[in-house]
Amino acid sequence: MAFGLFIPVPLFAFPLAVLLLSSRMARRTEVVVAVLAGALSAGWLLVPGPFPDQVLRAALVFSTVAFVLLIRVEGLSFTHRALLATGLATVGVILVFLAFGWTWDELHWWVNSQRNYENSLALDSLRANANAALASSLESMIESSVRFEADNFAALTALKLMAGLALATTIYHRIATFPRGSTLGRFRDFRFSEHLGWAAAIPLLIVLLPDLLRAKVAAFNLLLLTGTLYALRGLAVAAFAAGLAGTGPLAAIMAFTAAFLLLPVVLGVGILLGVLDAGMDLRSRMTARPAKD
Protein backbone atom coordinates (compact mmCIF):
# COMPACT_ATOMS: atom_id res chain seq x y z
CA MET A 1 0.00 0.00 0.00
CA ALA A 2 2.85 2.38 0.83
CA PHE A 3 4.53 1.46 -2.46
CA GLY A 4 1.36 2.32 -4.39
CA LEU A 5 1.17 5.79 -2.82
CA PHE A 6 4.41 6.88 -4.49
CA ILE A 7 5.09 4.44 -7.35
CA PRO A 8 2.70 2.86 -9.89
CA VAL A 9 1.51 -0.53 -8.61
CA PRO A 10 2.27 -2.35 -11.94
CA LEU A 11 5.98 -1.79 -11.27
CA PHE A 12 5.76 -4.71 -8.84
CA ALA A 13 2.57 -6.37 -10.13
CA PHE A 14 3.99 -7.07 -13.60
CA PRO A 15 7.24 -8.72 -12.33
CA LEU A 16 5.15 -10.69 -9.81
CA ALA A 17 2.85 -11.99 -12.54
CA VAL A 18 5.76 -12.97 -14.80
CA LEU A 19 7.62 -14.66 -11.93
CA LEU A 20 4.56 -16.73 -11.04
CA LEU A 21 3.89 -17.65 -14.67
CA SER A 22 7.51 -18.71 -15.15
CA SER A 23 7.36 -21.17 -12.23
CA ARG A 24 5.22 -24.27 -11.65
CA MET A 25 2.02 -23.09 -9.98
CA ALA A 26 0.49 -25.76 -7.75
CA ARG A 27 -2.07 -23.81 -5.73
CA ARG A 28 -5.14 -21.76 -6.57
CA THR A 29 -3.72 -18.77 -4.68
CA GLU A 30 -0.79 -18.53 -7.10
CA VAL A 31 -3.12 -18.64 -10.13
CA VAL A 32 -5.45 -15.98 -8.71
CA VAL A 33 -2.58 -13.62 -7.80
CA ALA A 34 -0.93 -14.13 -11.21
CA VAL A 35 -4.19 -13.36 -13.03
CA LEU A 36 -4.97 -10.28 -10.92
CA ALA A 37 -1.42 -8.91 -11.16
CA GLY A 38 -1.29 -9.63 -14.89
CA ALA A 39 -4.66 -7.99 -15.59
CA LEU A 40 -3.73 -4.90 -13.56
CA SER A 41 -0.40 -4.63 -15.36
CA ALA A 42 -1.87 -5.20 -18.83
CA GLY A 43 -4.39 -2.42 -18.28
CA TRP A 44 -1.62 0.00 -17.30
CA LEU A 45 0.83 -1.07 -20.00
CA LEU A 46 -1.64 -0.87 -22.88
CA VAL A 47 -3.33 2.44 -22.03
CA PRO A 48 -1.83 5.34 -24.04
CA GLY A 49 0.03 7.89 -21.97
CA PRO A 50 2.54 10.74 -22.14
CA PHE A 51 6.14 10.21 -23.23
CA PRO A 52 7.68 9.73 -19.71
CA ASP A 53 5.08 7.08 -18.84
CA GLN A 54 5.80 5.19 -22.05
CA VAL A 55 9.54 5.22 -21.28
CA LEU A 56 8.81 3.90 -17.78
CA ARG A 57 6.64 1.12 -19.22
CA ALA A 58 9.28 0.10 -21.76
CA ALA A 59 11.90 0.02 -18.99
CA LEU A 60 9.56 -2.13 -16.85
CA VAL A 61 9.12 -4.71 -19.61
CA PHE A 62 12.87 -4.86 -20.35
CA SER A 63 13.89 -5.15 -16.70
CA THR A 64 11.25 -7.78 -15.88
CA VAL A 65 12.17 -10.02 -18.81
CA ALA A 66 15.88 -9.72 -17.97
CA PHE A 67 15.26 -10.35 -14.26
CA VAL A 68 13.26 -13.52 -14.89
CA LEU A 69 15.76 -14.85 -17.45
CA LEU A 70 18.63 -14.27 -15.00
CA ILE A 71 17.01 -16.75 -12.60
CA ARG A 72 18.70 -19.44 -14.71
CA VAL A 73 22.14 -18.10 -13.73
CA GLU A 74 23.33 -19.95 -10.64
CA GLY A 75 24.77 -18.11 -7.66
CA LEU A 76 23.32 -14.67 -8.42
CA SER A 77 21.93 -12.85 -5.39
CA PHE A 78 18.78 -10.77 -5.74
CA THR A 79 20.77 -7.53 -5.63
CA HIS A 80 23.10 -8.52 -8.46
CA ARG A 81 20.21 -9.89 -10.51
CA ALA A 82 18.25 -6.65 -10.05
CA LEU A 83 21.28 -4.51 -10.94
CA LEU A 84 21.97 -6.55 -14.07
CA ALA A 85 18.30 -6.41 -15.07
CA THR A 86 18.24 -2.64 -14.59
CA GLY A 87 21.43 -2.26 -16.62
CA LEU A 88 20.00 -4.37 -19.46
CA ALA A 89 16.78 -2.35 -19.34
CA THR A 90 18.85 0.83 -19.68
CA VAL A 91 20.52 -0.59 -22.79
CA GLY A 92 17.12 -1.57 -24.18
CA VAL A 93 15.65 1.90 -23.62
CA ILE A 94 18.71 3.54 -25.22
CA LEU A 95 18.25 1.31 -28.30
CA VAL A 96 14.56 2.32 -28.46
CA PHE A 97 15.56 5.98 -28.28
CA LEU A 98 18.03 5.49 -31.12
CA ALA A 99 15.51 3.54 -33.21
CA PHE A 100 12.78 6.18 -32.92
CA GLY A 101 15.06 9.22 -32.90
CA TRP A 102 14.03 10.33 -29.43
CA THR A 103 16.32 12.56 -27.34
CA TRP A 104 16.96 13.24 -23.66
CA ASP A 105 15.92 16.89 -24.16
CA GLU A 106 12.48 15.76 -25.34
CA LEU A 107 12.07 13.49 -22.31
CA HIS A 108 13.27 16.25 -19.97
CA TRP A 109 10.74 18.69 -21.45
CA TRP A 110 7.91 16.17 -21.16
CA VAL A 111 8.67 15.41 -17.50
CA ASN A 112 8.78 19.12 -16.68
CA SER A 113 5.54 19.84 -18.54
CA GLN A 114 3.63 16.88 -17.13
CA ARG A 115 4.62 17.46 -13.51
CA ASN A 116 4.15 21.24 -13.70
CA TYR A 117 0.65 20.74 -15.10
CA GLU A 118 -0.28 18.26 -12.37
CA ASN A 119 1.14 20.51 -9.65
CA SER A 120 -0.55 23.61 -11.03
CA LEU A 121 -3.93 21.88 -10.72
CA ALA A 122 -3.17 21.03 -7.08
CA LEU A 123 -2.02 24.59 -6.32
CA ASP A 124 -5.07 26.10 -8.03
CA SER A 125 -7.25 23.90 -5.83
CA LEU A 126 -5.45 25.19 -2.74
CA ARG A 127 -5.90 28.81 -3.84
CA ALA A 128 -9.59 28.21 -4.53
CA ASN A 129 -10.01 26.98 -0.96
CA ALA A 130 -8.58 30.23 0.51
CA ASN A 131 -5.14 28.72 1.10
CA ALA A 132 -3.23 31.14 -1.11
CA ALA A 133 -0.43 31.60 1.44
CA LEU A 134 0.16 27.85 1.69
CA ALA A 135 0.09 27.51 -2.11
CA SER A 136 2.67 30.27 -2.50
CA SER A 137 4.98 28.71 0.09
CA LEU A 138 4.73 25.32 -1.61
CA GLU A 139 5.23 26.65 -5.13
CA SER A 140 9.01 27.14 -4.97
CA MET A 141 9.52 23.79 -3.24
CA ILE A 142 7.42 22.03 -5.89
CA GLU A 143 9.36 23.73 -8.68
CA SER A 144 12.62 22.45 -7.20
CA SER A 145 11.27 18.91 -6.89
CA VAL A 146 10.02 18.95 -10.48
CA ARG A 147 13.41 20.17 -11.70
CA PHE A 148 15.13 17.43 -9.68
CA GLU A 149 12.82 14.75 -11.11
CA ALA A 150 13.34 15.96 -14.68
CA ASP A 151 17.13 16.14 -14.33
CA ASN A 152 17.36 12.70 -12.68
CA PHE A 153 14.54 10.84 -14.42
CA ALA A 154 16.84 7.96 -15.43
CA ALA A 155 18.16 7.33 -11.89
CA LEU A 156 14.72 7.65 -10.29
CA THR A 157 13.29 5.22 -12.85
CA ALA A 158 16.05 2.70 -12.09
CA LEU A 159 15.37 2.97 -8.34
CA LYS A 160 11.63 2.50 -8.91
CA LEU A 161 12.29 -0.60 -11.02
CA MET A 162 14.58 -2.10 -8.37
CA ALA A 163 12.06 -1.35 -5.61
CA GLY A 164 9.33 -3.01 -7.68
CA LEU A 165 11.50 -6.08 -8.29
CA ALA A 166 12.27 -6.30 -4.56
CA LEU A 167 8.60 -6.20 -3.55
CA ALA A 168 7.61 -8.64 -6.31
CA THR A 169 10.33 -11.09 -5.25
CA THR A 170 9.26 -10.89 -1.60
CA ILE A 171 5.61 -11.66 -2.41
CA TYR A 172 6.59 -14.33 -4.96
CA HIS A 173 8.69 -16.30 -2.47
CA ARG A 174 5.92 -16.08 0.13
CA ILE A 175 3.13 -17.50 -2.04
CA ALA A 176 4.91 -19.66 -4.66
CA THR A 177 4.98 -23.40 -3.97
CA PHE A 178 8.07 -23.95 -6.09
CA PRO A 179 9.86 -20.55 -6.22
CA ARG A 180 12.88 -20.08 -8.43
CA GLY A 181 15.88 -17.86 -7.86
CA SER A 182 17.31 -16.39 -4.68
CA THR A 183 15.20 -14.66 -2.06
CA LEU A 184 15.52 -11.02 -1.13
CA GLY A 185 17.33 -11.82 2.12
CA ARG A 186 17.50 -9.78 5.31
CA PHE A 187 18.08 -6.05 4.98
CA ARG A 188 20.90 -6.22 7.56
CA ASP A 189 22.82 -8.49 5.14
CA PHE A 190 22.38 -6.22 2.10
CA ARG A 191 25.58 -5.90 0.07
CA PHE A 192 26.78 -5.85 -3.53
CA SER A 193 29.98 -6.33 -5.47
CA GLU A 194 32.76 -3.88 -4.65
CA HIS A 195 33.19 -3.35 -8.40
CA LEU A 196 30.14 -1.09 -8.26
CA GLY A 197 32.50 1.50 -6.81
CA TRP A 198 33.68 2.21 -10.36
CA ALA A 199 30.11 3.20 -11.19
CA ALA A 200 30.51 5.99 -8.62
CA ALA A 201 34.16 6.93 -9.15
CA ILE A 202 33.97 7.44 -12.92
CA PRO A 203 30.85 9.69 -12.96
CA LEU A 204 32.23 11.63 -9.98
CA LEU A 205 35.34 12.38 -12.04
CA ILE A 206 33.16 13.50 -14.97
CA VAL A 207 31.15 15.80 -12.71
CA LEU A 208 34.32 17.42 -11.34
CA LEU A 209 35.86 17.99 -14.78
CA PRO A 210 34.98 21.16 -16.71
CA ASP A 211 32.86 21.04 -19.89
CA LEU A 212 31.49 17.59 -20.83
CA LEU A 213 27.96 18.92 -20.30
CA ARG A 214 26.24 15.97 -21.98
CA ALA A 215 28.29 13.47 -20.01
CA LYS A 216 27.48 15.30 -16.76
CA VAL A 217 23.77 14.51 -17.13
CA ALA A 218 24.48 10.77 -17.27
CA ALA A 219 27.10 11.11 -14.53
CA PHE A 220 24.71 12.83 -12.11
CA ASN A 221 22.08 10.14 -12.69
CA LEU A 222 24.60 7.34 -12.13
CA LEU A 223 25.89 9.05 -8.99
CA LEU A 224 22.36 9.33 -7.60
CA LEU A 225 21.75 5.62 -8.24
CA THR A 226 25.03 4.39 -6.77
CA GLY A 227 24.84 6.86 -3.88
CA THR A 228 21.42 5.49 -2.93
CA LEU A 229 22.74 1.92 -3.05
CA TYR A 230 25.72 2.82 -0.84
CA ALA A 231 23.38 4.63 1.57
CA LEU A 232 21.24 1.48 1.79
CA ARG A 233 24.37 -0.58 2.40
CA GLY A 234 25.41 1.78 5.18
CA LEU A 235 21.96 1.59 6.77
CA ALA A 236 22.19 -2.21 6.54
CA VAL A 237 25.47 -2.02 8.47
CA ALA A 238 23.74 0.12 11.12
CA ALA A 239 20.86 -2.39 11.31
CA PHE A 240 23.39 -5.23 11.67
CA ALA A 241 25.14 -3.41 14.52
CA ALA A 242 21.80 -2.68 16.20
CA GLY A 243 20.95 -6.39 15.96
CA LEU A 244 24.20 -7.35 17.65
CA ALA A 245 23.51 -4.83 20.39
CA GLY A 246 20.07 -6.35 20.98
CA THR A 247 18.08 -3.23 20.16
CA GLY A 248 14.39 -3.61 21.02
CA PRO A 249 11.35 -2.59 18.93
CA LEU A 250 10.85 0.71 20.79
CA ALA A 251 14.44 1.79 20.18
CA ALA A 252 14.10 0.79 16.52
CA ILE A 253 10.95 2.94 16.14
CA MET A 254 12.67 5.91 17.78
CA ALA A 255 15.71 5.48 15.54
CA PHE A 256 13.49 5.32 12.44
CA THR A 257 11.66 8.50 13.48
CA ALA A 258 14.95 10.33 14.12
CA ALA A 259 16.29 9.11 10.76
CA PHE A 260 13.24 10.49 8.97
CA LEU A 261 13.61 13.90 10.64
CA LEU A 262 17.35 14.04 9.93
CA LEU A 263 17.22 12.43 6.50
CA PRO A 264 20.11 14.37 4.82
CA VAL A 265 22.44 13.60 7.74
CA VAL A 266 21.38 9.94 7.83
CA LEU A 267 21.93 9.55 4.08
CA GLY A 268 25.37 11.12 4.32
CA VAL A 269 26.38 8.85 7.21
CA GLY A 270 24.83 5.90 5.37
CA ILE A 271 26.91 6.56 2.24
CA LEU A 272 30.07 6.85 4.35
CA LEU A 273 29.32 3.58 6.17
CA GLY A 274 28.46 1.89 2.88
CA VAL A 275 31.75 2.92 1.27
CA LEU A 276 33.70 1.81 4.36
CA ASP A 277 31.88 -1.52 4.41
CA ALA A 278 32.66 -2.09 0.72
CA GLY A 279 36.37 -1.67 1.44
CA MET A 280 36.68 -3.08 4.97
CA ASP A 281 33.72 -5.46 5.38
CA LEU A 282 32.63 -3.90 8.67
CA ARG A 283 30.07 -6.60 9.46
CA SER A 284 32.68 -9.36 9.36
CA ARG A 285 34.88 -7.30 11.67
CA MET A 286 32.00 -6.85 14.12
CA THR A 287 31.49 -10.60 14.44
CA ALA A 288 35.15 -11.61 14.30
CA ARG A 289 36.41 -13.18 17.50
CA PRO A 290 39.44 -11.52 19.12
CA ALA A 291 42.67 -13.41 18.56
CA LYS A 292 43.92 -15.42 21.55
CA ASP A 293 47.32 -14.70 23.00
Predicted local confidence at residue 49, as pLDDT: 85
Q: Kindly report the number of other CB atoms within 10 A of residue 248's CB atom.
A: 10
Assess contact for 30 and 14: CB atoms under 8 A.
Answer: no
Q: What is the pLDDT of residues 67-83, one digit of tens each?
A: 999 988 888 889 999 99
Assess contact for 224 and 267: CB atoms under 8 A.
Answer: no
Predicted local confidence at residue 78, as pLDDT: 92
One pLDDT digit (tens) per residue for the chain, 293 residues: 778 788 899 999 999 999 999 998 888 999 999 999 999 999 899 888 889 999 999 999 999 999 999 988 888 889 999 999 999 999 999 999 999 998 888 999 999 988 888 777 777 776 676 666 666 667 777 888 888 999 999 999 999 999 999 999 999 999 999 999 889 888 888 888 777 776 667 666 666 666 666 677 888 888 889 989 999 999 888 888 887 777 666 666 666 676 666 667 777 888 888 888 888 888 888 886 555 54
* Selection from 108, 109, 112, 103 nearest residue 145 by Cα: 112
Q: What is the pLDDT of residues 136-173, one digit of tens each?
A: 667 777 888 888 999 999 999 999 999 999 999 999 99
What residues have CB less than 8 Å from 91, skipping those under 6 apart? none
